[in-house]
């Protein structure tokens, strides 16, 4: 059951030469000169990995192949902000033609450190609140990208659809991630509308996820697209299975790993969108500051039937029929 999300209008400016925000490719518009692209990923987990892979695939589709006319420099901060800052500093002094930040903390570090070359971001929930852009339609400066903002209210509504008698929801997230706080605020509003009492648990590291999840005294658990929590998702899945309560996730990769359901985006596709923006910059000279931030055009209802059994939840046939994907 595909749902449409708002999509910022795509900027149409495409100059022949890249000026004021990156290396000069030279030649005519459309040429695929040799380029170097830096990637700063905040932490490894399937969703962010998928975004990176989608980004690289879009570069290839656009004529940039690693080992031929594309050099990639991929760095991972392993969930540490200080490391992300150091990576950004190194990229600032590099000769890269374009740099991608995957997840809000890495993107913020790059935006602060890199001012003379194009910076793209992906897997960022609220780019304006994170201080990355002036606005979604007119980012300004040298930074733009794609947002992974999900239909949080629809995700919370899944709780009552899967467990009609639910009266409460536990929300676990990282206290240091701006993107998570934005989603939690939306989730609390949606929970109130559904008559669900909210119990919050915050973590500062992935190592704290298991204890937080086990301490919930709720009828359900909700995990937003929080990088540190998703990196330790198996601990939340185990807690939900032990408590026999549904675990609703912020995106599809988490459902494939064992969460019960989501109405969410596809991170591979989101990465591809970002890669297509990169191609417009590298090949056509588009200016990031004039390229509107993009969001994914549709979301999908994904249900994990195996997880439902483990969590003691019976999936209504009507919901199963609406699903875009049922993982058996």
Can you give the CATH number for the domain in which 198 is found?
Answer: 3.40.50.2300
Pair 201, 309 in one domain: yes
- Domain extent, residue 316, equals 152-264+300-326
Residues 311 and 286 occupy one common structural domain: no
Q: Comparing 24-33, 57-66, 156-165, 218-227, which segment has the lowest mean pLDDT? A: 24-33
- Do 77 and 162 sit in the same domain of this protein? no
**Residue 2 DSSP class:** -
In a domain, 123, yes or no: yes
Which band of pLDDT confidence, cut at 50, 70 and 90, is reported for residue 290? Answer: very high
Only one residue has tokens 């890495």, namely 106
Domain identity same for 140 and 275: yes
User: 195 and 163 in contact (C-beta within 8 Å)?
Assistant: no
**Between 24 and 255, where is the model more confident?**
255
Asked whether residue 4 is domain-assigned, the answer is: no
Domain contains 3? no
Q: How far apart are the first and last CA of the chain?
A: 18
| Window from 3-12, 23-32, 240-249, 275-284 with minimum mean pLDDT | 3-12
| Sign, CA torsion 133/137/142/146 | positive
- What percentage of the chain exceeds 70 in pLDDT? 91
Structural domains in the chain (count) = 2
Same domain, 169 and 126: no
Does 202 lie in the same domain as 305? yes
Residue 214 has pLDDT above 80, yes or no: yes
User: Tens of pLDDT along 87-115?
Assistant: 999 999 999 999 999 999 999 999 999 99
> Does 175 lie in the same domain as 118?
no
The answer as to whether 13 is a domain residue is no
For residues 220 and 168, the answer to whether their CB atoms sit within 8 Å is yes
Are residues 103 and 205 part of one domain?
A: no
| pLDDT given at position 31 | 60
Measuring CA to CA, which residue among 297, 290, 292 is closest to residue 13?
290
Residues 118, 190 within the same domain: no
Work out the pLDDT band at 179, boundaries 50, 70, 90. confident
Average pLDDT for the chain? 91
95 within 8 A of 170, measured Cβ to Cβ: no
Query: What pLDDT shows up at residue 12?
Result: 36
Q: Is residue 184 part of a domain?
A: yes
172 with 227, same domain: the answer is yes
Do 137 and 56 lie in a common domain?
A: yes
pTM to 2 decimal places: 0.81
Share of the chain above pLDDT 90, in %: 86
């Amino acid at each position: 059951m595909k749902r449409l999300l708002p999509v910022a209008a795509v900027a149409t400016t495409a100059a022949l030469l890249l000026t004021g925000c990156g290396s000069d490719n030279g030649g005519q518009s459309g040429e695929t000169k040799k380029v170097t692209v830096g990637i700063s990923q905040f932490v490894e987990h399937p969703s962010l990995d998928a975004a990176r892979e989608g980004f690289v695939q879009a570069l290839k589709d656009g004529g940039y192949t690693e080992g031929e006319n594309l050099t990639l420099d991929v760095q991972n901060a392993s969930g540490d902000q200080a490391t992300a800052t150091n990576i950004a500093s190194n990229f600032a002094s590099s000769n890269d033609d374009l740099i991608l930040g995957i997840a809000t903390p890495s993107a913020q570090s790059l935006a602060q450190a890199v001012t003379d070359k194009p910076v793209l971001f992906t897997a960022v929930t609220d780019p304006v609140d994170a201080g990355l852009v002036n606005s979604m339609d007119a980012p300004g400066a040298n930074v733009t990208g794609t947002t992974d903002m999900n239909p949080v209210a629809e995700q919370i509504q899944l709780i009552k659809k899967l467990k009609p008698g639910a009266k409460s929801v536990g929300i676990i997230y990282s206290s240091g991630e701006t993107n998570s706080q934005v989603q939690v605020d939306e989730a609390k509003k949606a929970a109130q509308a559904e008559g669900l009492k909210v119990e919050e648990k915050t973590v500062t590291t992935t190592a704290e996820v298991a204890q937080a999840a086990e301490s919930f005294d709720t009828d359900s658990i909700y995990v937003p697209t929080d990088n540190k929590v998703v990196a330790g998702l198996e601990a939340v899945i185990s807690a939900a299975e032990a408590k026999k309560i549904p675990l609703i996730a912020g995106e599809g990769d988490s459902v494939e790993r064992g969460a019960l359901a989501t109405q969410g985006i596809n991170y591979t596709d989101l990465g591809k969108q970002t890669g297509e923006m990169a191609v417009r910059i590298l090949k056509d000279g588009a200016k990031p500051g004039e390229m509107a931030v993009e969001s994914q055009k549709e979301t999908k209802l994904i249900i994990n039937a195996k997880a439902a059994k483990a969590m003691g939840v019976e999936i209504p046939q009507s919901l199963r029929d609406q699903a875009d994907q049922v993982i058996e």
